[in-house]
Structure 1
Amino acid sequence: MKDLSRKIQGIKAAKVRQMYELSQGLDDVVSFVIGEPEFDTPKNIIDAAKKAMDNGETHYTPNAGILPLRVAVSKHFLEFDKVSYNPEDEIFITVGGMQGLSLSLLILTNPGDEVIVSDPCYTNYFGMIEMNNAVPVTVPVFEEEGFNFTEERLRKAITPKTKAIILNSPSNPTGAVASRDTMEMIARLAIEYDIYVIFDEVYKYLTYDEPFFNIARISGMKDRTIIIDSVSKSFAMTGWRVGYCLAPKPIVAQMQKIQEFMLSCVNTPAQYAAIEALTGPTDAYTSMNEQYKERRSIMVERINQIDKISCLMPKGAFYVFMNIKETGLTSDEFALKLLHEQHVVVSPGDCFGTMGEGYVRLSYASSVDNIHKGFDRIARFIQNLTAKV
């Protein structure tokens, strides 16, 4: 048999998913590993999908998605993000935010082009960039600086081959939120060096301590920004797989062309469900956000009460990036020992980049009882480590 693609074989599997798989089959596991809301999709959204199916909305849609959803996205972005996009030719419906990211990289990059990401960053960025024959270039971000880009380090990473910067705010895995000043610094560099910004804002509703700000609002940035968003996290709709890109007309035109070759269109009833998510009652979404904020406080408090581990208060998303350096264990060692000894599963920090070594990521999209149960076990785990020393 002839060889499979060397490029694909050379891409590493996602370690987060590997940790999840390792936990399967173990009894009484407390999981903080997967970034998924524990809540069910609100009933009004489910009912909207059922109604669409009953009404015969089960056929192909335009490649760009149904116009009523694009209109809903446009109205929502004008209200929430304070940026205006034409639903006819500047908005494109995708299979979750993931397809939007992949399409953006496919359309922007030529082989050998460089794409800047923070280190640590969302682990899937690396694979997506490499799948599209581009080169990921990492810029270290540090805990003491709130895990945000600085101008000095970002400028140093830019070369003539730089095509784009991926900006994720609020951030997975760190929970960092880029301030307006940080956004303006990134915008200055993007304009100065003629670079695109892929702005991944899928956690934008989950911003707790300061207002969310969209980089496309800055003068000169709308024409060089691709916004990636979805209904997955904010509306507990991860399995529905509906996202959207907002971008300049020439980029959306290329997305529309490629979609026909890739998967034709997004699931039709799910698109109608997304309309309801964006235009319907906000009670469930507001309640979920309040509960995330409470769980964030509980998890951070529990962490900082235990010797040898610590964390910053995350400003957004639903993750804590926990510092474990004082334990003397690597991220892998900590995660594997914790799983095998206490049946608590977390994500090793090094799967988010080399700067993630010495950290583990925990999701607080879990019940309060689960958080306390898990941290009772983590406290025992740390106590046992100390006793062995």
Structure 2
Amino acid sequence: MVTASGFPNSRMAGVPLAGGIREILGLAEELERQGRSIVHMEIGRPDFDSPLMAKEGAKAALDAGNVHYTDMAGDRDLRRAIAEKYGREQGLAVDADRQVLVTVGAMEAILVVLLTLLEPGDEVIVPAPFFPAYSDQIALAGARQVTVPCPMEKGFRLQVDDLRKAVTERTRLILLNSPNNPSGAVLAEEDLAAIAELAREKDLWVLSDECYEKFLYEGRHRTIAALPGMAERTVIASSASKTWSMTGWRVGWLVMPKEMTPYAVKCHQNVTSCAASFAQAGVALALREADDDVASMIDEYRRRRDLVVRYLKETPGIESVVPEGAFYAFPNIAKLGMTALDFCMHLLREKGVSIVPGDVFGSPGFVRIAYCRSYGEIEEGMRRIGEAVRELQARP
């Protein structure tokens, strides 16, 4: 078969096709089909059901014939619910008609921002560890990622001095993710203030990925957009996926300066047109009425986090910090004398536990453990991990 010349193009050539989270999941599922007992701790997918009122709202929308296109910017009732949420929780005055865009999940939301804001060759500063899709989407936008490592010794929190050193005349955007996937790190208010000061000084945009905003084990979430002079240079990306356990509903959103909205809507229109109408109806109800469901879920994740932390502390040769948010632990396994990928493959094949190497998150030597399973499954998975580590250390 003859392939036309110029394939792949320069953007796709910069996107790795293997080695990510889904590949690990695929191997785990293949072993499962062979009859192996696998503890899945690789995918960041809440195991709770979606809120009942959201499901009932989607059903009612379907029964009412709400099966057609919505406004390209999203159903107005959902946009109003999003605006109300940020007013209630962050003190932001958000215009539902001029500052909110409903997207097909946060993945599309982030890509729309990158395609709308960036010129080819622009630089995006991304603190590491980071969600792997950032690298792919920056490459697809024709931009360049500049990675700023956030050391475990500092709790994986971005240090503004390191951020300042990464800024060049090509820097256009800082991409923040707090609470962070995969480290669970949370930027404190003083961190946000320092980053905001630099963004104002250097005239930079900030894209704030806040998909895990409710997954905080102490305190409350604070968006950088609420700081002085930041609303006009910040875009918030979030979704219903994690907070309300609605990953399959594929509804996300952007909150942005009103001048940017028409261009972001046009980009979104030409990528997906709109999110599913009946799903949007259910999400609007979740935003307004499901706070109790969310609180109960976070309480259970706190219990699971504490279990994982206890096992990690009891496992020699592994270094870790206590995650402050999200639902991941991100320990360092470098002292075991093997790469993170080798350790993950050994763990999967020998002990039937599926976790992800930190290389895909920009942090070699680390592994990500997702505690999105039942308490009993997590306990069994952590027991197997400890067993594997002790066996490796006992080798001559």
Same fold, TM exceeding 0.5? yes
Deviation at residue 310 of structure 1 after TM alignment: 2.9
The equivalent residue for 1:46 is 55
Letter paired with 2:23? Q
Which of residues 237, 258, 261 is equivalent to 1:252?
A: 261
Which of residues 50, 59, 83 is equivalent to 1:74?
A: 83
Deviation at residue 146 of structure 1 after TM alignment: 1.1
The equivalent residue for 1:112 is 121
Q: Superposition RMSD on alpha carbons, in Å?
A: 1.1
> Distance between the aligned counterparts of 2:366 and 2:14, measured in 1?
25
Which of residues 165, 170, 174 is equivalent to 1:161?
A: 170
Matched, 1:12 2:16: yes
Which of residues 132, 150, 161 is equivalent to 1:123?
A: 132
Q: Which sits farther off after the overlay, 277-286 or 196-205?
A: 277-286
Deviation at residue 282 of structure 1 after TM alignment: 2.5
Letter paired with 1:11? V
> Distance between the aligned counterparts of 1:274 and 1:63, measured in 2?
17
Deviation at residue 362 of structure 1 after TM alignment: 0.6
Deviation at residue 322 of structure 1 after TM alignment: 1.1
Matched, 1:381 2:388: yes
Letter paired with 2:91? K
Deviations 1:228-281 (A, max 9, x none): 011100111000000110001121110111222222111100100100110124
Given the superposition, is the C-alpha separation of residues 38 and 281 from structure 1 closer, same or farther in structure 2, using an over 3 Å criterion? closer
> Distance between the aligned counterparts of 2:290 and 2:126, measured in 1?
36
The equivalent residue for 1:23 is 28
SS of equivalent to 2:259: helix
Matched, 1:367 2:374: yes
SS of equivalent to 1:211: coil
Q: Which sits farther off after the overlay, 46-55 or 278-287?
A: 278-287
Letter paired with 1:8? M
Which of residues 195, 200, 203 is equivalent to 1:191?
A: 200
The equivalent residue for 1:357 is 364
Letter paired with 2:14? G
**Unmatched 5+ stretches in structure 2:** none
Paired residues for 1:1-389 under 5 Å: 1-3=3-5, 4-6=7-9, 7-13=11-17, 15-26=20-31, 27-353=36-362, 356-389=363-396
Q: Which sits farther off after the overlay, 10-19 or 185-194?
A: 10-19
Letter paired with 1:65? G
Q: Which sits farther off after the overlay, 251-260 or 172-181?
A: 251-260
> Distance between the aligned counterparts of 1:194 and 1:363, measured in 2?
36
Given the superposition, is the C-alpha separation of residues 64 and 347 from structure 1 closer, same or farther in structure 2, using an over 3 Å criterion? same
> Distance between the aligned counterparts of 2:203 and 2:13, measured in 1?
33
> Distance between the aligned counterparts of 1:263 and 1:140, measured in 2?
34
> Distance between the aligned counterparts of 1:338 and 1:281, measured in 2?
38
